[in-house]
């Protein structure tokens, strides 16, 4: 059964990746928005924001990486929506393949596409002066957090893609996720925010993830932020996966 699932997922993953490679503009578009934000914040607003001794590009890169992921998963919802409306799912159900492999192929495609976008954004950040003395293990830890965050948001995208009634609805759900880093410690210290905004910013998932990644990049103690970040990502992933599975079963039943 496991071999059957792996084989089916691999074949369907190849199909999805072909669609991505034929429309490279989706990856470029996903990377362009965060890069434009970096340029804007670093060269226009950066001089007016006090982040201590750290350069502003070092300070804000973790938040930009999360925005990159939030932008990328919108295309996962769009690809799922198009498959649903195009009758592809019905064709797959008539074939002897593992049902869950259809969803996992889209999820893994999201991971690959987002990885490429993240590499592009980090590359531009390096050209803009981003520097980190973190070692290989620390970079792997950062990658692990970003991977978990991507998985969590991708399964949310699966729910949106399966439930949407229109193309706009399939991708619109990602807008609040893209906006969320602006109400966190991603671009300015939360201590500078008004009371109610500060309270929200300090207790939403993006802030703990940003703080953990930023501490890892600068080789500072991560404290409890990393555990809070992992708890948020893991909790969202579990809930989103459960609802996505239920939604999928209802759609194909």
Instruction: Determine the pLDDT at residue 23.
Output: 67
Instruction: Determine the pLDDT at residue 21.
Output: 67
Instruction: Determine the pLDDT at residue 228.
Output: 94
Instruction: Determine the pLDDT at residue 4.
Output: 61
Mean pLDDT of the chain: 84
- Sequence-distant (≥ 6) Cβ neighbours of residue 60 within 8 angstroms: 38, 41, 42, 46, 186, 187
Enter the tokens of residue 113: 């596409």
- Determine contact, residues 155/107, Cβ cutoff 8 Å: yes
Instruction: Determine the pLDDT at residue 207.
Output: 95
C-alpha span between 89 and 48 (Å, rounded): 52
* pLDDT tens, residue order, the chain (253 aa): 455 667 667 777 777 777 666 666 676 777 788 888 888 888 887 666 766 667 888 989 999 999 999 988 888 888 888 777 776 666 666 665 666 777 888 888 888 889 988 999 999 999 998 988 888 999 999 999 999 999 999 999 999 888 888 877 777 888 888 899 999 999 988 888 898 999 999 999 999 999 999 999 988 888 899 999 999 999 999 999 999 989 888 877 6
* Domain interval for residue 23: 2-252
Per-residue pLDDT reduced to its tens digit, 68-113: 999 888 888 888 887 777 766 666 666 656 667 778 888 888 888 8
pTM score of the predicted model: 0.89
C-alpha span between 175 and 110 (Å, rounded): 17
Helix (H, G, I), strand (E, B) or coil at 125: helix
Instruction: Determine the pLDDT at residue 92.
Output: 63
| Number of domains observed in the structure of the chain | 1
CB contact burial 15-37 (16+ within 10 A = b; e otherwise): ebeeebeeeeebbeebbbbbbeb
Enter the tokens of residue 1: 């059964």
């Amino acid at each position: 059964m496991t071999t059957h699932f792996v084989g089916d997922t691999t074949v369907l993953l190849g199909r999805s990746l072909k669609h991505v490679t034929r429309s490279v503009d989706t990856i470029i578009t996903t990377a362009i928005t965060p890069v434009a934000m970096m340029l804007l914040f670093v060269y226009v607003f950066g001089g007016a924001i006090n982040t201590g001794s750290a350069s502003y590009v070092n300070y804000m890169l973790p938040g930009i990486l999360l925005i990159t992921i939030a932008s990328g998963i919108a295309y996962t919802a769009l690809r799922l929506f198009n498959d649903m409306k195009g009758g592809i799912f019905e064709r797959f159900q008539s074939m002897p393949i593992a049902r869950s492999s259809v969803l996992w192929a889209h999820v893994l495609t999201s991971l690959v596409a987002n990885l490429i976008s993240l590499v592009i954004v980090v590359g531009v950040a390096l050209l803009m002066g981003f520097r980190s003395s973190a070692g290989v293990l620390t970079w792997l830890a950062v990658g692990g957090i970003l991977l978990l965050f991507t998985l969590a948001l991708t399964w949310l995208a699966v729910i949106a893609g399966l439930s949407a009634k229109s193309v706009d609805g399939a991708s619109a759900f990602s807008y609040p996720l893209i906006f969320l880093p602006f109400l966190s410690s991603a671009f300015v210290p939360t201590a500078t925010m008004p009371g109610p905004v500060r309270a929200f910013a300090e207790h939403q998932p993006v802030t703990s993830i940003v703080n953990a990644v930023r501490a890892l990049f600068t080789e500072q103690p991560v404290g409890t932020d990393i555990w809070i970040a992992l708890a948020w990502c893991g909790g969202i992933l579990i809930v989103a996966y459960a609802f996505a599975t239920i939604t999928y079963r209802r759609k194909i039943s």
